[in-house]
């Protein structure tokens, strides 16, 4: 891609804002270092007048640009995003800025996160299943996953700084194999991340509290899930 200005008149055209001259009935290829200057407000105002009058035609290296608005836009922006290199990352595979932005937008739109809050009021008993509320015990009224998703992390907090406990997570049965467990000593709150357990819409999750010493009390758990497209 190039930025070429063609002089359609019999006189030299001086571009005062960038200090460049286009010879009569000749052309000037703009070097990359001048792209920003050429795109400035003052330069665009000057060039817009010359382009609209027909004195200058803009060429992108392969063809003359038309209509005039396209030619002006081509000069206004120093380069096209498809020509700016982007170093791919683990999350974004694009090799250009244009591709990277597209990947980022697609990722953001296709992977929304949502949460499910759980509350248990009062002291938790050993082998208690935590549900939506202590009025709805988690073993008899299980937590239902509403859409296909992945459990990425959860947070846990309670009112006691000296609480000792273990949290066990199972899928679809109170006796199923654990897919995540963690034990804490003298801990009021924590975040458990990196779980990455997949659920289908309608699956159940069971969260078992095991007392290891001082009972946790007034528990709040927030499940964080990533929706699957």
Decide: residue 107, CB within 10 A, 0-12 exposed, 13-18 middle, 19+ buried.
Answer: exposed
Q: Which residues lie below 8 Å from residue 36, measured CB to CB, with a gap of 6+?
A: 78
Element (H, E) at 212: none
Predicted confidence at residue 197, as pLDDT, reads 97
Which tokens in the block code for residue 192? 């458990």
Instruction: Choose among 214, 195, 215, 224: nearest CA to 128.
Output: 215
Element (H, E) at 103: helix 97-110
Q: At what angle do helices 41-53 and 68-76 cross, to 10 degrees?
A: 160
* Per-residue confidence in pLDDT tens, the chain, 229 aa: 688 999 999 999 998 878 889 999 999 998 877 787 888 888 888 889 999 999 999 998 889 998 888 888 888 876 666 666 667 777 777 777 777 777 666 565 556 889 999 999 999 999 999 999 999 999 999 999 999 999 999 999 999 999 999 999 999 999 999 999 999 999 999 999 999 999 999 999 999 999 999 999 999 999 999 998 7
134 and 120 in contact (C-beta within 8 Å)? yes
- C-alpha–C-alpha distance, residues 138 and 146, integer Å: 16
Residue identified by tokens 């694009």 is 94
The two most distant CA atoms of the chain are separated, in Å, by 94
Which tokens in the block code for residue 38? 């050429």
191 and 182 in contact (C-beta within 8 Å)? no
Decide: residue 87, CB within 10 A, 0-12 exposed, 13-18 middle, 19+ buried.
Answer: exposed
List Cα–Cα distances, 42 to 10, 21, 57, 110, in angstroms. Answer: 24, 16, 18, 42
Pick the CATH number of 111-227 from 2.60.120.40, 3.50.50.60, 2.60.120.330, 3.40.50.300: 2.60.120.40
Predicted confidence at residue 106, as pLDDT, reads 59
DSSP 31: P
- C-alpha–C-alpha distance, residues 37 and 18, integer Å: 6
- Sequence ranges of the domains in the chain: 4-83, 111-227
């Amino acid at each position: 891609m190039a930025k070429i200005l063609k002089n359609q008149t019999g006189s030299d055209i001086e571009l005062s804002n960038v200090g460049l001259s286009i010879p009569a009935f000749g052309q000037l290829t703009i070097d990359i270092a001048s792209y920003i200057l050429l795109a400035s407000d003052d330069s665009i105002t000057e060039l817009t007048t010359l382009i609209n009058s027909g004195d200058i035609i803009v060429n992108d290296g392969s063809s003359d640009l038309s209509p005039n608005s396209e030619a002006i836009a081509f000069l206004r922006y120093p380069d096209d995003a498809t020509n700016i290199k982007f170093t791919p990352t683990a999350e974004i595979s694009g090799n250009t800025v244009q591709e990277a932005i597209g990947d980022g937008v697609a990722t953001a739109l296709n992977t929304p996160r949502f949460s499910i809050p759980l509350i248990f009021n009062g002291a938790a008993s050993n082998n208690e299943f935590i549900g939506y509320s202590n009025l709805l015990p988690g073993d008899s009224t299980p937590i239902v996953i509403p859409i296909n998703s992945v459990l990425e992390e959860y947070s846990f907090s309670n009112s006691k700084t000296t609480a000792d406990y273990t949290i066990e997570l199972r899928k679809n049965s109170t006796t199923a194999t654990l897919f995540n467990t963690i034990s804490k000593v003298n801990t009021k709150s924590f975040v458990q991340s990196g779980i990455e357990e997949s659920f289908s819409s309608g699956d159940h999750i069971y969260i078992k509290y095991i007392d290891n010493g001082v009972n946790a009390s007034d528990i709040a758990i927030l499940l964080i899930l990533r929706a699957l497209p």
